Homo-oligomer: A and B are copies of this chain.
Amino acid sequence: MPQGKNLEGKRIVLASRPVGEPKPSDFRLEEYAVPEPGADQVLLRTIWLSLDPYMRGRMSDGPSYAQPVPVGGVMEAGTVSEVIESNNSGFAKGDIVLSRAGWQTHALSDGKGLSKIDPKLAPISTAIGVLGMPGMTAYTGLLDIGKPQPGETVVVAAASGAVGSAVGQIARIKGARAVGIAGGKDKCDFVKNELGFDDCLDHRDPDLASKLKAACPKGIDVYFENVGGAVFDAVFPLLNPFARVPVCGLIAHYNDTDSKPPKWAGAMMRAILTKRLTFRGFIVSDFAARHGDFLRDMSQWVREGKVKYKEFVTEGLESAPEAFMGLLKGANFGKQLVRVGPDKA
């Protein structure tokens, strides 16, 4: 692999804002001459690219907590990257870093926002998975908003995914009952047998509502909301008094083009009142102060085998658009990663 000057890079830019489901023509692969790092800059080579549902929001220009990617701009993403040139005293050639380099093979950075990854502690891909943003999303949303108590019931969808899998396993560590929801028998078997959830239901099952009720005989105390749609419809009537609903994502609605109210919309405020429910939206950076706690607990749980994780890897930057479109439909089985370049030689 060539390094240094006169590198040819590849990047994927937002070609157009999707209406509804993103389609291949909303993305464009470009080649570009990788620039030389200037004073205090480092040049990064992408090894792992993280694909996450929130990126669908960045493709639209509706109101959100973050600025959208401009049309023609490089798609945003967290990456695990190698420093291949450094003019910055904080980083040496060969360092492996967590970056937000986006959907591209190379990026410049002034070092701000980069953090070094120690490859001896864990596989470096976990820095954008179970030990990274998705893991910390699960940890903070569940513990700081959901606050599961021993014996309570926690429900989470996308239960074989990066966030959901961690939510259920942490709930179990805290003594709660974990009920997952996932797409298809293979994922459900994995969630129950490998991840140790108490139960897992298929969201495609037309009887989801009655099966969820049977799987939660004492109702639902924490619903970690990352999907919305039919799962929320099934969960809503089962929420117990004082139930907590951390709202982390609504993947079932990210491609919505109409604003038809969901089934229970008209009943929500009344249920919040009469059942004293808590709904609270969050993004992981709201809990930045908890990063040390998260890393300490989660690395220990992973080492002890109490939290397992599954990665779903596609090969090559070019695979990112299709992998991302698949992610929005649940085609991935585990944390969706794109291998953009080889591990450090």
Question: CB within 8 Å of B: which residues of A?
Answer: 57, 63-65, 225, 228, 232, 241, 247-250, 253, 259-262, 265-283, 286
Contact = CB atoms under 8 A, between A and B. Distances in A.
Nearest to A279: B279
A5 to B, nearest CB: 43
A221 to B, nearest CB: 15
A281 B267 CA distance: 13
**Most chain B beta-carbon neighbours within 10 Å: one of A241, A268, A277, A279:** A279
Contact of A274 (B64, B277, B280): B64
Interface SS of chain A: mixed
Nearest to A259: B266
Nearest to A273: B281
Given A262-B266, A265-B266, A277-B280, 15 more contacts: A57-B274, A247-B269, A249-B273, A259-B266, A260-B266, A261-B261, A262-B265, A271-B281, A274-B281, A276-B280, A276-B282, A276-B283, A278-B279, A279-B279, A279-B280
Contacts of A280: 272, 276-280
B65 A241 contact: yes
10 contacts: A250-B269, A250-B273, A262-B266, A265-B266, A272-B280, A272-B281, A277-B281, A278-B280, A279-B279, A280-B280
A262 B241 CA distance: 23
A149 to B, nearest CB: 16
